[in-house]
Amino acid sequence: MSLEPSLPEQYAQLCQLSPTAPGPLKRKRGFDFERVLKRLLDADGLEPRASYKAKGEQVDGSFYLDGTFILLEAKWHADPIPASTLYQFKGKVDGKLVGTLGVFVSMSGYSEDAVDALTAGKSLNLILFNKEDIDAAIAGNLGFKTILKAKLRKAAEEGLVYYPTAIELVESAGTGGVAIERLHFDRMTDRVLGRPGPSSADLIIVCEGDPDREVLAHLAQRILENSQSSKKIEVISALGKIGVPKIVNSLLMNQPEIRVLAVVDSDDDVEGTKSMLEKIITSPNWAPIIIHPSIEQWLGLTKEQVRRYPRFEVYSKALLALDMTELRATDPTFQLFYDEISAISS
């Protein structure tokens, strides 16, 4: 009789499935992933219950943590999970015993509007996991409970249901060139993997989404290449506009001496956006960069162009064609951003 593969081995096999695999194989992976999660929860003594139906609704599972019952929903789709899917799950949680929480696991991440919509709701009772969280729990051997407790603390203390998972590190050595490197957070210590202690960045940029993070990192790289500044810049995605000021606050509470930029779209309301940031951010060492109406304005793109083609592909072409000298002359907000990046570190 063949032995069951270890949990890391079983999870690794699921991760190897090609994005172009046929539908039946992807559906099978979804069922297998539920079994992987049950094994993971079992290992932490969380008393998991498998998928069940209650009053006509399907629930992927539930588990028990420190006196609280938590409903579980897990998806492994090709696209980020939209707000509508989170609302459906939240409705299931809201209809249960007062104090019941929900954990949503999306291996394809979440749309920016999804996290904002959830955070803006009247009650905060969902915690969001993504692939990097499951990687850390299984491949990183941290376990599910450890990561969940860290997330629960962030949600309770700072109202964050989704904490950043990755940053772009833009580093200049003056005449030695400028490089961009992808780093990942260790949520257990609030530090970035690969760095021994608190951030040594001269400037941290917090933006709305992952595409924005990559655009701003490449803009910072070009600005540093053309300036005399020798500095280190971190670019972090809050995955949602509402999350930006909360992440800024979190960073400045830990290291109040670091300069932080909050880069957000105006969404046709510059003053309302500025007011939203200022109501939440309590530390003084930050500055708003409010792009009107959106970051596509800097790239000379229309919303139709972004909708029609893959976003990263469109952004990459626009960045190559961007004339920063002209943009500085015509867009005061970009000039502010340019000045913050190029300022000589003290």
Evaluate whether 311 touches 210 at the Cβ level (below 8 Å).
Answer: no
Q: Is residue 62, in this structure, part of any structural domain at all?
A: yes
Q: Which residue has the tokens 């951030």?
A: 199
Range of the domain at 152: 7-158
Span 6-27, mean pLDDT?
A: 93
Q: What is the CATH number of the domain that holds 103?
A: 3.40.1350.10
**Residues 188-225 pLDDT 10s:** 555 555 454 567 889 999 999 888 998 999 999 999 98
Phi-psi region of 7 (alpha: psi -120 to 50; beta: other; left: phi over 0): alpha
125 and 173 belong to one structural domain: no
Same domain, 151 and 246: no
In-domain check, residue 2: no
pLDDT tens, residue by residue, 41-65: 999 999 999 877 666 677 788 999 9
Residue 150, domain member (yes or no): yes
The answer to whether residues 183 and 167 touch, using CB atoms and an 8 Å cutoff, is yes
Question: How many domains does one find in the chain?
Answer: 2
The residue out of 158, 180, 201 marking a domain boundary is 158
Rounded to whole angstroms, how far apart are CA atoms 24 and 179? 42
Residues 33 and 108 in one domain: yes
> Considering the chain, what is the average pLDDT of its residues?
87
Other beta carbons within 10 Å of 126: 24
Integer Cα distance of 170 and 167 in angstroms: 10
**Is the pLDDT reported for residue 250 higher than 90?**
no
Which residue, 113, 142, 158, sits at the end of a domain?
158
Beta-bridge partner residues of 194: none
Q: Tell me, yes or no, whether 49 and 136 share the same domain.
A: yes
For residue 59, tell me if it sits in a domain.
yes
The CA distance from 312 to 310, in Å, is: 6
Asked if 110 and 253 sit in the same domain, the reply is: no
Say whether both 267 and 236 belong to one domain.
yes
Name the pLDDT band for 1 (thresholds 50, 70, 90): very low
CB 305 within 8 A of CB 311: no
Query: Is there a single domain that holds both residue 188 and residue 323?
Result: yes
Q: Are residues 263 and 283 in the same domain?
A: yes
Q: In what order do the strands lie in the sheet with 191-192?
A: 191-192, 178-186, 166-172, 232-237, 203-207, 259-265, 286-291
- Check residue 122 and give its pLDDT: 64
pLDDT at 238: 86
Residues 216 and 326 in one domain: yes
Query: Does the pLDDT value for residue 310 go beyond 60?
Result: yes
Last residue of a domain, one of 158, 183, 204: 158
Are 149 and 195 in a shared domain? no
Q: Is residue 147 part of a domain?
A: yes
The confidence score (pLDDT) of residue 136 equals 83
- 101-106 and 68-75: which strand pairing? parallel
Q: Are residues 137 and 189 in the same domain?
A: no
Strand order in the sheet with 101-106: 61-65, 68-75, 101-106, 126-130
What percent of the chain has a predicted confidence (pLDDT) above 70?
Answer: 90
Are residues 208 and 136 part of one domain? Answer: no
CATH (domain of 214): 3.40.50
Of the two residues 263 and 188, the one the predictor is more confident about is 263
**298 belongs to a structural domain:** yes
Both tokens of residue 172? Answer: 């200049």
Task: Classify residue 181: in a domain, yes or no.
Answer: yes
The burial of 83, by beta-carbon neighbours within 10 Å (0-12 exposed, 13-18 middle, 19 or more buried), is given as middle
Residue 1 belongs to a domain: no
